[in-house]
Structure 1
């Protein structure tokens, strides 16, 4: 175990055939944070501290990303949900509030759909849920250009090789509407994706999207999302995710953060912490209430 500060420690934890690098902080009801691309657990750097005042925060590097195992396969959302459930088992948490953004949203959703007894509350941000109805306006001009680029096996790794920093910077600038992210976090992201094998793992998420979409479709066709759920939108996804969730979710709250880019935890951390704190307050009270 590596201690980064008085609040955050890093651990390597075995789950579902891989080892996951995990940042853990605080005590209380568990909150699992699932990042996206091109991020690591450090996406949540400005969120972990405030949340850890009343929760045990668990922020892994997803399969193949950051310092987690560069697995050969298993990047579909269903298997990533198995990773997450195994991680909760390994740290002794039978339940958690789960927060997902970007590539972390589909596995967070499937974890809640397939194991609703394990997810007390669900927060989903800035992603689409496969081909579920509701995102037609967002997709009217087609999906973002990099979806197709990343989906071609082996291509993007070769094209990006030697230009990883510039490529990652483009996403970080676009995702914060030109503001960029703090220098040390930017450097950590660039280092995390600075070689072809790391990029291969990242692009595997896009190559698994058809399988993930089928899993999401099947889950939504056979069950409803019964856990209290909050959808948080910014630019560019906006309310598309909430529109996908509305027909299949029993309790849905939707917020959009004006003037905020895709990378909400780093572009608008104060607003996000406020939304999460309010949404998780009821969860914390229920979790601490004696039986």
Structure 2
């Protein structure tokens, strides 16, 4: 009897270990739109595309990938110029970045997907849906703003005008070797509570990623492109989307602003303000945000 129980217990452990291994995301590369893109992939089923924001990379999505990959095919790319992806000289408009992602998912045989974006990634997600509306079944936007939509300049100038114009040779020289000091401003000041923001391990990971040659310059270029983004988004907004859209914002960050903008560009918006959270929703409010996203996407 004892031998049977031991054998059964070992079998269960082996099964769980195999299942856990099967769900671990794969790190892969592909040429897309003339750019080498790195991406994480996991699971099978309805495709979901996860788009990261500034100061981060596809790594930010690991807690969500773990849940979604149980019944979805999850694709989380590093956007051009970020993580392990290539560093083209430009452009870094969100429309072109969306075209990169579209080329990637098309190369994988994906004809329709659900799209999620945080921060800069939400701008890319919107540009993706605006350019390929028939290929997006659901979209989720997470805490930032949409350039060119509504009273967007008040949002843009609200608290951190300096970093939107912080690009060029002098900023690059100032930040070189001090990437973490620069990013601490975002990770601490954009959080409701800096002690509940990004973990120490993640801070080290991202600082090292962005310290790679050319990566800070690429990151700065996403801000340089905002004027062009605003022009393109204003044009997209003239034809509102008719796609189910979930908007999650931090109470201590974009609050109602992004939700109000979203209602100008889509007719099916559900806006949720995450109480007590700042900008870093995945890290500050994991227990609230991951279930909301999983429920919406399923």
| TM-score with structure 1 setting the length | 0.89
1:120: how far off?
A: 0.7
Root mean square deviation, CA, Å: 1.8
> Whole-Å Cα distance in 1 between the matches of residues 217 and 130 of structure 2?
28
CA shift digits 1:104-130 (9 cap, x unpaired): 111211111121111110001112111
Decide which structure has the larger Cα Rg and report it. 2
Q: Is the 8 A contact 1:101 1:126 kept in 2?
A: yes
Q: Name the residue aligned to 2:38.
A: 21
Q: In the aligned structure 2, how far is the partner of 1:62 from the partner of 1:139?
A: 22
Residue 265 of structure 2 is aligned to residue 227 of structure 1: no
167-176 or 117-126: bigger deviation: 167-176
Q: 1:286 aligns to what?
A: none
Selected match of 1:263 from 269, 276, 280:
280
Measured at CA, do residues 135 and 206 of structure 1 come closer, stay the same or move farther in structure 2, by a change above 3 Å? Answer: closer
Structure 1 residue 170, shift from structure 2 partner? 2.8
Residue matched to 2:176: 161
- The alpha carbon displacement at 1:267 in A equals 1.7
Match of 2:123 among 103, 106, 112: 106
Cα contact 1:135–1:241 (8 A) shared by 2? no
Give the direction of change, closer, same or farther, for the CA distance of 1:22–1:86 in structure 2 (3 Å limit): same
Report if aligned partners of 2:30, 2:36 keep a CA contact under 8 Å in 1.
yes
Pairwise CA distance, 1:134:
4.5
State the alpha-carbon separation in 1 of the partners of residues 33 and 140 from structure 2: 24
1:97 to 1:210, Cα distance in 2 relative to 1, 3 A: same
Are the aligned partners of 2:248 and 2:273 in contact in 1 as well (CA < 8 Å)?
yes
Distance 1:140 1:205 in 2: 16
Counterpart CA distance in 1 for 2:164 and 2:113 is 31
Contact 2:51–2:116 (CA<8 Å) still a contact in 1? yes
1:173: how far off?
Answer: 2.4
CA, structure 1 residues 198+136, in 2 after alignment: closer, same or farther (shift >3 Å)? closer
Higher RCO (C-alpha 8 Å, min separation 6) = 1
User: Where is the helix percentage greater, Structure 1 or Structure 2?
Assistant: 2
1:186 aligned to 2:203?
yes
Contact 1:34 1:108 in 2 (8 A): yes
CA distance, structure 2, for counterparts of residue 52 and residue 89 of structure 1 = 19
Q: Tell me the equivalent position of 1:63.
A: 80
Mean Cα displacement is larger for which, 209-218 or 141-150? 141-150
Residue 155 of structure 1 and its aligned partner are, at CA, apart by 2.7
Contact 1:51 1:273 in 2 (8 A): no
Following the alignment from structure 1 to structure 2, what is the Cα–Cα distance between the partners of residues 226 and 113? 10
Matches within 5 A, 1:17-96: 17-96=34-113
Contact 1:134–1:243 (Cα < 8 Å) also in 2: no
How is 1:115-194 mapped onto 2 (pairs within 5 angstroms)? 115-135=132-152, 138=155, 141=158, 143-150=160-167, 153-176=168-191, 177-179=193-195, 180-194=197-211
Whether the 8 Å CA contact 1:44–1:266 is kept in 2: the answer is no
Determine helix, strand or coil for the equivalent of 1:149. Answer: coil
- CA separation of 1:136/1:148 partners in 2, compared to 1, >3 Å: closer, same or farther? closer
